[in-house]
Amino acid sequence: MRIGIACYPTHGGSGVVASELGIDLAKRGHEVHVFSYALPFRLRGFYENLFFHEIDVGSYPLFKYPPWTLAAACKMIEVADAVKLDVLHVHYAVPWAVCAHLAREVVSESCGKLKIVTTLHGTDITLVGAEPTFFKMTKFGIERSDAVTTVSNYLAGETKNTFGVTRQIDIVYNSVDHERFLPQPRRCCRKHFAPDGEKVLMHISNFRPVKNVTDVVRTFALVRKATPAKLIMVGEGPDLPAAREVARELGVEKDTHFLGNQDSVEELLPCADLFLLPSQYESFGLAALEAMSCGVPVIATETGGLGEVVCPGEDGWLCRVGDYECMAARAMDVLADEPRRKEMGRAARRKAELKFSPGIIVPQYENIYRRVLNQK
């Protein structure tokens, strides 16, 4: 098939899912065309059958706000016409689903009817799309797509409740490349961050308020009181200064490493003993899954779709949102019993391989593409 994929290029789950899917589809022999306004960071490198189309808005004195969504639709039209795209798979409803719809309306007859698949990732439904400004546009995008997928059962329910849609929604979980996200550290980062054998806790996110990053630091400060430990914070975003401030207030700044954005988190994750994800809301929790694939147990919050990823007592623990004391207590229990921690890590790894591998997830998308192509 000739498949277009549109996504955000920045450090965020939807762009990662879209990029990894594009690579996997190209490896499986499909011709893949990726649309974004910059090269998504997980797409760096050369892949046969995979093409990148940059959306360039240009500038004009009249435009205070250059119309990048129109530019996106124009790029989709240009490529769909040129290569005869079969399917356009957009990731994150706002504004991609509407851009795709516009492109389909304009695309020449010669292309046939371009099919649109929209994957909803989370805040496109719970925050951005639910906001009055975008509500009707988001609903329109969902209703006009030929297929809609969500990344968890939870998000499918939220979509139906929030937008009152009754259409079929397919649930396709996030996947992880378990051959790249491995339990063995490839570089000796553990020694670098924890030279005296301290325990290592890690968090990765884009530090938006929904990620509740200050609770990572609060959890760590309690753990640090009980045992020598280091915290590695990966990512950047609006709440980074607040996280630094809490680390300073609680006296753990010397034991906390803020690494900023990192492209190859698979090199860092295996150095961790535990992964912390105290989100206020999480539709799936791709970062947790990537940690699990590296054999790292996860302490997260009981919110959104995280319960579909982490099984309490088996490969991690879940606590109520905001209950960092619970997270710290769970973390200390796990860290105090190394054989048990390792067993949880093995269970996490097994789950990543058996339930969330690309070999299981990618064919689910292929089946959806085939289904929409066969629809009248």
Binding site for ligand GMT (CB under 6 A): 12-15, 17, 121-124, 151, 174, 210, 281-286
What is the DSSP secondary-structure string of 281-349?
A: --SS-HHHHHHHHTT--EEEES-TTGGGT--BTTTEEEE-TT-HHHHHHHHHHHHH-HHHHHHHHHHHH
Q: Are 130 and 165 in contact (CB under 8 A)?
A: no
Q: Are 278 and 118 in contact (CB under 8 A)?
A: no
Amino acid identity at 348: A
CB nearer ligand GMT, residue 9 or residue 345: 9
Rg (CA), the chain: 21
CB nearer ligand GMT, residue 10 or residue 49: 10
Question: In whole angstroms, how far apart are CA 91 and each of 141, 220, 268?
Answer: 12, 34, 27
Query: SS3 for 2?
Result: strand
Smallest gap, in angstroms, from Cβ of residue 327 to ligand GMT?
A: 17
Distance CA 245, CA 260 (A): 16
Smallest gap, in angstroms, from Cβ of residue 45 to ligand GMT?
A: 21
Smallest gap, in angstroms, from Cβ of residue 48 to ligand GMT?
A: 26
Q: Are 26 and 34 in contact (CB under 8 A)?
A: no
Count CB atoms within 10 A of the CB of residue 372.
18
Q: Which residues of 152-172 are buried (b: 16+ CB within 10 A; e: fewer)?
A: bebbbebbeebbeeeeebbeb
CB nearer ligand GMT, residue 99 or residue 194: 99
CB nearer ligand GMT, residue 331 or residue 361: 361
Helix (H) or strand (E) holding 36: strand 31-36
Smallest gap, in angstroms, from Cβ of residue 138 to ligand GMT?
A: 13
CB nearer ligand GMT, residue 13 or residue 295: 13
CB nearer ligand GMT, residue 283 or residue 293: 283
Smallest gap, in angstroms, from Cβ of residue 7 to ligand GMT?
A: 8
CB nearer ligand GMT, residue 77 or residue 292: 292
CB nearer ligand GMT, residue 256 or residue 283: 283
Smallest gap, in angstroms, from Cβ of residue 236 to ligand GMT?
A: 13
Smallest gap, in angstroms, from Cβ of residue 355 to ligand GMT?
A: 14
Smallest gap, in angstroms, from Cβ of residue 284 to ligand GMT?
A: 4
Strands of 180-313, DSSP E: 199-204, 229-234, 256-260, 274-277, 298-301
